[in-house]
Amino acid sequence: MRSNKKRSWTFLLAEFFVVFISVSGAFYLDTVKEDRQLKENQIRYYETFLMNLEIGAAKIERLQTQIDTLVSQSQNNPNFQFRVRRNLSFVNNQLIIRAGFEELNFSVITPQYLRNLDEGSNLITRVQQRLNNLEFRTQEYQFSNQQGSI
């Protein structure tokens, strides 16, 4: 009877070590998986950041050609007048990118799709700014007309 008890303690001790090693291995593998996902997210962020820089560089090149065209026109024509746009807007709120990092959604969104979402978010912000500007100018116009009729 006593050897049976020793064997059961030995068996329990061996089972404890197997469970301990299994749980420790699972935690280690989970940590390795999280590290890999973090590195993949960093890579996706850098890819998205590079795409945004490429878009910005393309816009700068396009604007540079427009500026060069205006400069050559002004040099060739002494009566040339520049039309100034007063409401320049350089919106880049990066709401989508920030949301992707805060919610850890970079693992499922491809950089191209993320860039399109980000550009769309910026366009929506620009439209909102223009609508606010239009509303302000409309109110200004109505107020000036009311003052003129009094």
pLDDT in tens, 41-73: 778 778 777 877 787 788 889 888 888 888 888
Question: What's the CA gap between 149 and 125, in Å, rounded?
Answer: 36
**Would the pLDDT of 30 be above 90?**
yes
**Would the pLDDT of 33 be above 80?**
yes
**Would the pLDDT of 13 be above 50?**
yes
Indicate the burial class of 106 (C-beta count within 10 angstroms; 0-12, 13-18, 19 or more).
buried
Indicate the burial class of 108 (C-beta count within 10 angstroms; 0-12, 13-18, 19 or more).
exposed
Is this prediction's pTM over 0.85?
no
Question: What's the CA gap between 8 and 14, in Å, rounded?
Answer: 10
Question: What's the CA gap between 119 and 55, in Å, rounded?
Answer: 10
In tens, the pLDDT along 93-132 reads 566 666 666 655 555 666 666 666 667 776 777 788 888 8
Torsion angle in degrees (nearest 10) through CA of 119, 125, 127, 129? -150
